[in-house]
Amino acid sequence: MSDGVFRACVRTWFMRITIVTAVYPPEALVAGRMASDLAAYLISIGHAVRVICPYPSRPLGTEYPQYPNRQKLMTSVENGIAVTRIPSLTAPAASLAGRIRESWSFGRWAARAIQTMASPPTVVYEAAWPILAKGMIGTRCARMGIPRITHIMDTYPESAFAKVPRWVSAVVGKPLLYLDKKSALQAAKVVVISENMRDTYEKTRGVPPLQIEVVRTWQDEAPFLSLPKREGAGRRYGIRTDVFTFLYLGNIGPVAGVDHAIASFSTAGLQDAQLLIIGQGSQREACMQLARQSQANIQFLADPEMANVPLLQSLADVCLLPVKRGAASSSIPSKLSAYMLSGKPVLASVDANSDSARLIRTADCGWVVEPEDRTALAQTMRELCSQATGTLAATGARGRGYALEHLSKKQGVKKLAAIILEAVGRKREPETALPGQVPVPAPMSSTASA
């Protein structure tokens, strides 16, 4: 434990910490994994933790038979952590209307669960759906005088506007921006995952710089501490290891740019190389069809268990990070840190001013080309195939060293915990009800109590 965390623990011992998260294990999503890591760490240093989350629903089509009754609020112990599952609406399919209902329902249920705890939390860490859920939870915490730390994983409404007609953003842009700004300013701390996102919240939401903290999404470094041999992975998955291998591992979705990687690899015309694509997603079938049409040496594997990621990535000579133009401007895909922890050099096709590009340049662990530039990506692929093995290994080793120091679970969870614990010193008084509003009743006992 760092000195900062230790001092914070001494000042605030003992605390009731509520973690409100939109996703949580067994869902294999980054935000849920980080919430689980945070909960376990806070318990390990002596605090009482309760997690409030919905029933699992992601990825689309996944069955979770361990949760047969999803119509009631249920509290149980999961892996040593008290977890309250709320029966909020879920929308794993990418539907704008569905996601709006999901955010509203989750915010409503989570706010109610916080209000009805027998012992109100000392502090709330929230990683909820934007924008409605964050606003509802933030308002409830403000009225109860509970300091809240909000974790921003993506910039909304800006991210959503890239996927809808321009007239929609013109009509609802300002109201949604106002709601997000209000939610951010209500928080004791705003945690963001990149420097670009910090700038956005400072300049467009007016959040004071000292109120914003950058905590990058982390990877559990433990599975990567002993790196597997490439030959063993080749035998297990039936993949050739005697040819140069470009590898992509992650979601095959609309902004991932996997189609661009396939087209570029085909354009490169590399005879003694292969492209390995590992993952699931809404664009997987379309990408498989594109690969068949290209007649290039491209293979697909299903989405692996997290424990198998180091083994699969050992197959790579170079790992690929293709992202659609504008989609990587305010976040860093979690696959980048996993690539780096595997000691693999990274070839990224991302915006030059994105945080992903900045990280690769800082760590000196790969190459960056403009997004959706097939000619540039194909040319770089050709050049890398002729690179000396030692040069590629040295580039990957630099990335691994940087990731272990800056992007590991060990470092990230301590930093986030320190932010939460220190926020208690800035606890505010409950908000007085505005004229015409009904005062919030005092907390009462319920099945969600700590």
Q: What is the pLDDT of residue 286?
A: 96
Domain spans, the chain? 3-218+409-426, 222-406
Q: Kindly tell me the number of DSSP H helices and DSSP E strands found in the chain.
A: 16, 14
Find out whether 317 and 351 touch, Cβ atoms under 8 Å.
Answer: no
Assigned token pair, 448: 């969600």
Write out the H or E segment, with its range, that includes residue 320. strand 318-322
Assigned token pair, 196: 């670009």
What is the β-pairing status of strands 273-278 and 189-192? unpaired
Q: What is the pLDDT of residue 151?
A: 98
Q: Is 285 exposed, middle or buried (0-12, 13-18, 19+ CB in 10 A)?
A: exposed
What is the β-pairing status of strands 81-86 and 74-78? antiparallel
Give per-residue pLDDT as tens, 345-359: 999 999 999 999 999
Cα-atom radius of gyration of the chain, to the nearest Å?
23
Assigned token pair, 126: 């929230």
Distance CA(259)–CA(109), nearest Å, equals 39
Give per-residue pLDDT as tens, 239-265: 999 999 999 999 898 889 999 999 999
Q: Which CATH architecture has domain 3-218+409-426?
A: 3-Layer(aba) Sandwich (3.40)
Q: Is the peptide bond before 131 cis (omega within 30 degrees of 0)?
A: yes
State the amino acid at position 196 in one-letter form: N
Find out whether 125 and 20 touch, Cβ atoms under 8 Å.
Answer: yes
Q: Is the peptide bond before 157 cis (omega within 30 degrees of 0)?
A: yes
Has domain 222-406 been given CATH number 3.40.50.2000?
A: yes
pTM above 0.85, yes or no: no
Equal CATH topology for 3-218+409-426 and 222-406: yes
Q: What is the pLDDT of residue 436?
A: 34
Per-residue pLDDT of the chain (450 residues; tens, 9 = 90+): 555 554 444 444 578 999 999 999 999 888 999 999 999 999 999 999 999 999 999 988 889 999 998 999 999 999 999 999 999 999 998 788 899 999 999 999 999 999 999 999 999 999 999 999 999 999 999 999 999 999 999 889 888 776 677 887 788 889 999 999 999 999 999 999 988 899 999 999 999 999 999 999 998 999 999 999 999 999 999 999 999 999 999 989 888 999 999 999 999 999 899 999 999 888 999 999 999 999 999 999 986 677 899 999 999 999 999 999 877 666 678 899 999 999 999 999 999 999 999 999 999 999 999 999 999 999 999 999 999 989 999 999 999 999 999 999 999 999 999 999 998 864 443 444 333 333 333 333 333 333
